[in-house]
Every structure is written in C-alpha cells, then in structure tokens.
C-alpha cells in the first residue's frame, strides 16, 4: 500500500464506508501504514485470493535499507538447536552470564534461573531500568530463546502449530505468544514458562490483532478483531493470565477503534496502563485525553484548557512514563470526529494534567518511553515525504530528550517503504532494551534484527533470522 491514489476504487470505497472509524480516508491510510509494522501478522496469513480481491498495487522497492553504521555480529562459539518437540520444555537449562560495560561502570547479570522466585528476588520493578537478559522471537512457526552475547539459541516451543510474536512478561519468567491463523478467526494467545514449559491458553480462538502485558504481569491487554465488524480496528479486552475471572471488555467506555491509537510500539507492556499496578487507564479520543479508573467507573479529562489552542484536535497513542508520573501522546489535526487529517506532534504532561508541552520538532508515530523515563522514541516520516500523505516512502526512529527537547536520529533505523504480497510496511517493529542503552529493530520478517547503541548510533546484526521483533527479557543487574 503506497498512497491513496494508488489504491483501487474498491479500497477507497471500503475506507469511506467503514463504520465506526474516527478518521477520514487520507488519515486512515496514514494510520493503517503506521500500524502495519506493529501488527503481529506474518505475510503468509494473507491468502492470494484475499490479496487479489483487494487489488493493491505498489511500486515501492522491497530491498532492505543499508547503513554505514551497521557492523557484523562477532563470531559465535556454537548455535545449538533442539529437535522439534511438540510443545515440550527445552532439555537444557538456559544459563546466561551477561557482562556489560556502560560508561565505565561494569554491570554483571548472573545466570538465569528457571525458578521464578530466584529471578524475582532483586529484579527492579517495571518502573525502573533492568538488566538485559535473553531474547525470545519466532521463526518458521516456532518460538526460540537466544543469547545476544554468545549468539546461541534454543528452540523452546516447536511442532506443527503456527506460533508467532512472543513477548516476555515484565518479570522475565513467562512468554506470551500467538498461535494459529487469525484470518480464520482461529488464533489464540498462549503463555509458557521461559523454557517452554506449562503452556496454557489465555484467550479463546479468534483474531487477537495486538497484545501486551499489563505492568504487573497479571493480565494481557488484547485488541481483538471482531468477526461481525471486520477491519474496523478491534475491541480492547483484558484477560487474566491465571484464568480466574472472565475477560473484561474495555470498549465502551473507552472509545471504539482503539487498536491503532493505543498500541504504540512493540514493547512488552501495554503503554496505556499505568505502572506499576495498573490503577489507571489512558484513553485518547476526539477532543479528549481521558484517564479512567481501573474499574472504568471514574473518568477524568486532562488538560482540556491547555489543549484549546490546538482545536480542533484528537488524541492518539497515549503512553504512561515508566514511573507513572508523566504521559506522552500525539495530538492530531481533525476536521470533525470522523476526519483526522494529520499529526501536530508529540506532547507530554504530568499525570495530574499540568505542564503540557510539545517535545521535538516534527511529527511522531507512537511514543515509546525509555526505561528510565528520560527520553522518548518516536517513528518519523521524512519531511519530503509528507506531501504524498503516505508513510511508505521511508521513516527513521528519533530519540527525544524530555528535559531539553533535543533530538537524535538513529540513522541505522532509517528504512525505505516496502510492499510485498499486498502488504506495505516500514519496520516490523522496534523497542528499547531493558537497560535503556540500546534499541532492537527488525526491518522485515525473515532477516536479522539490529541492536543499536542509542549513544553512538552504531548497530550490530544479531546472528539469527527472525519473523518477529525479538522481545528482551528483564533481569537483575548488579553493580560492582
């Protein structure tokens, strides 16, 4: 998908006629293109018949971008891979000893333990940075865990099922992933231990488009596509991982079409749920940035007066800072509730609604806080590409300092738009490392992800090809 002019009349008609969508056609295209890199979908989910019926054309190159900042990964000692079990635990215990030198300070991460109690003992809360552990990712329908320091990987979930998009829990002891075919409404979310043990289904069969852990790790927030209302953005539901209660539907009172404006990046924790215990939930809507209580019975609108100079406006991609003291979000230009026409930029304010200010100098797609809350990462389209009202021409990840507003483009994340099998995208995903000193990015499925040092901009390829953005485990970091 490239620009509105390159879409067939049938698709234009579908966009204009989509019920419940709070955006016009032009802004709808922009938001779809922004969401595609973050949606947990592999291209093979789209059968040829569906693609032919859509009739999307594209002239965009499918070649990945290159950068002089990228360096090869060091040679590996070994790369053991287990035989393909049918969803059984790995036979070897994962032992990882990570030693990282950061600014002259030595951080040593002890060996990982399959015992949750040992892992939890001194793990920093989700409100603070943590040490970088192993990574989990999908390839060819299986789930792996890899050590980014040695390059070794272990298959933890294999077999005939089609599994994808694994994400570590905030405490680093469990992994949630997608199993099945969403296009048939036959996909569900499964949670396992970090070694692949004790699998259990968390959601029934359906189409969970996006998902993330709550900050306390007790539940998964899921954006579900509805069979009766396909392709209108989905409905938010909260599923307890333990399965001790029925799922909660958050829409209403949260506004319909929440998926795109709520899930901002590929991080493991839901950005709209306040850390550490999920006592408040953010909501962006037409002319409103709202905060709801956990039970959704109380609603407070923030900064209505401070936002008046930007009227008419809409709010999307709201995200709590790691410590829950601030909120970041995008302010959008709107003509009315059903016509969102573009971004006015990224804004932050205090949790009580005071201190509203714009940060950065350009538009932002999403707002991903660094683990220490000092910076925000956003996706940005090159200014020269804005005239076409499309994200397909290219983008780069930009780091914005909260205190000073200074910007840093991560050149290694600069990519061109791609289109294959009727699907257009920029990045498959990107997110911060648990310690906040790096970012991991996957440009396209089936390639090697990059780890980018946010201070130097230097990037290294990980040694594995993956079909999903790797999810980085949070572990204890000790200072020597």
Long-range contacts of 175-179 (CB under 8 A, 24+ apart): 175/136, 175/143, 175/471, 176/202, 176/211, 176/213, 176/220, 176/241, 177/138, 177/143, 178/40, 178/208, 178/211
Does 210 have pLDDT greater than 50? yes
Would you place residue 379 in the very low, low, confident or very high pLDDT band (cuts 50, 70, 90)?
confident
Q: Can you give the CATH number for the domain in which 388 is found?
A: 2.120.10.30
How many domains does the structure of the chain reveal?
Answer: 1
Q: What is the distance of C-alpha 100 from the center of its chain? A: 25
Distances (CA, A) of 91 to 112, 119, 195, 320, 479: 15, 20, 9, 39, 32
Nearest CA to 165 out of 471, 409, 473 is that of 471
Report CA-CA distances (Å) from 266 to 114, 289, 469.
25, 22, 7
Mean pLDDT of the chain: 74
- Residue 39 pLDDT exceeds 50: no
95-106: pLDDT as tens digits: 333 333 333 332
Across 124-128, 436-440, 463-467, least confident range = 124-128
% the chain with pLDDT above 70: 66
Is the per-residue pLDDT at 424 higher than 70?
no
Span 122-129, mean pLDDT?
90
Report CA torsion sign: 384, 10, 236, 267: negative
Instruction: Report the pLDDT value the prediction gives residue 425, as an integer from 0 to 100.
Output: 65
Which of 2-16, 331-345, 447-461 shows the lowest mean pLDDT across its residues? Answer: 2-16
80 class by beta-carbon count within 10 Å (0-12 exposed, 13-18 middle, 19+ buried): exposed
Mean pLDDT of 345-371: 91
- Point out which residues pair with 431 in neighbouring strands: 440
Domain limits for position 240: 4-479
- Cα→Cα distances 206→52, 209, 234, 276, 319, Å: 24, 9, 11, 29, 27
Is 222 a residue whose pLDDT tops 80?
yes
440 pLDDT above the threshold of 60: yes
Highest mean pLDDT among 5-14, 152-161, 254-263: 152-161
Long-range contacts of 91-97 (CB under 8 A, 24+ apart): 92/154, 93/195, 94/134, 94/145, 94/147, 94/154, 94/194, 94/195, 96/133, 96/134, 96/147, 96/149
Q: Is the peptide bond before 17 cis (omega within 30 degrees of 0)?
A: no
3-state secondary structure 61-81: CCCCCCCCCEECCCCCCCCCC
**Length, in residues, of the chain:** 480
Looking at residue 77, its pLDDT comes to: 31
State the Cα–Cα distance between residues 310 and 306, nearest whole angstrom.
Answer: 9
pLDDT band at 427 (very low <50, low <70, confident <90, very high): confident
Q: Which residue has the higher pLDDT, 384 or 396?
A: 396
Q: Which pTM does this prediction carry?
A: 0.75
* pLDDT average, residue stretch 157-173: 96
pLDDT of residue 426: 75
* Longest CA pairwise span in the chain (Å): 64
């Amino acid at each position: 998908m490239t620009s509105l002019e390159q879409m067939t009349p049938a698709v234009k008609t579908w966009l204009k006629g989509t019920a419940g969508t709070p955006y016009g056609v032009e802004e709808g295209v922009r938001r779809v293109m922004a969401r595609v890199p973050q949606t947990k979908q592999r291209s093979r989910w789209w059968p040829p018949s569906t693609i032919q019926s859509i009739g999307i054309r594209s002239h965009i190159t499918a070649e990945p971008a290159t950068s002089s900042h990228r360096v090869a990964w060091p040679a590996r000692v070994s790369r053991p891979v287990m035989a393909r079990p049918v969803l059984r635990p790995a036979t070897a215990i994962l032992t990882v000893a990570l030693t990282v030198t950061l600014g002259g300070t030595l951080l040593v991460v002890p060996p990982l333990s399959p015992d949750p109690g040992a892992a939890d003992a001194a793990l920093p809360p989700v409100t603070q940075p943590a040490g970088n552990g192993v990574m989990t990712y999908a390839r060819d329908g299986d789930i792996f865990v890899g050590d980014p320091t040695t390059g070794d990987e272990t298959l933890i979930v294999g077999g005939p099922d089609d599994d994808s998009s694994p994400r570590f829990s905030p405490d680093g002891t469990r992994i949630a992933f997608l199993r099945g075919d969403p296009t048939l409404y036959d996909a569900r979310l499964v949670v396992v231990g970090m070694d692949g043990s004790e699998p259990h289904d968390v959601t029934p069969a359906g189409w969970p488009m996006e998902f993330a852990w709550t900050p306390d790790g007790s539940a998964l927030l899921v954006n579900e596509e509805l069979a009766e209302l396909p392709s209108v953005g989905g409905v938010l539901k909260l599923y307890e991982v333990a399965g001790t209660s029925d799922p909660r539907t958050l829409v209403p009172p949260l506004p319909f079409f929440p998926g795109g404006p709520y899930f901002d990046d590929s991080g493991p924790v839901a950005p709209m749920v306040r850390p550490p215990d999920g006592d408040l939930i953010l909501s962006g809507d037409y002319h409103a940035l709202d905060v709801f209580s956990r039970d959704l019975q109380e609603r407070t609108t923030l900064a209505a007066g401070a936002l008046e100079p930007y009227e008419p406006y809409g709010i999307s991609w709201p995200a709590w800072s790691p410590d829950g003291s601030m909120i970041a979000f995008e302010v959008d230009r709107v003509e009315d509730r059903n016509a969102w026409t573009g971004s006015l930029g990224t804004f932050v304010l205090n949790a009580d609604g005071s201190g509203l200010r714009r940060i950065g100098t350009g538009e932002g797609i999403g707002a991903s806080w660094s683990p220490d809350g000092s910076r925000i990462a956003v996706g940005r389209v090159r200014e020269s590409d804005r005239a076409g009202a499309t994200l397909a021409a290219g983008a780069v990840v930009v780091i914005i300092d909260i205190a000073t507003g200074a910007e840093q483009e991560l050149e290694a994340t600069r990519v061109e738009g791609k289109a294959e099998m009727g699907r257009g995208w920029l990045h498959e995903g990107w997110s911060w490392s648990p310690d906040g000193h790096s970012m991991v990015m996957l440009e396209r499925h089936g390639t090697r992800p990059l780890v980018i040092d946010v201070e130097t901009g230097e990037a290294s390829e990980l040694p594995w090809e993956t079909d999903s953005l790797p999810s980085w485990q949070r572990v204890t970091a000790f200072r020597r």
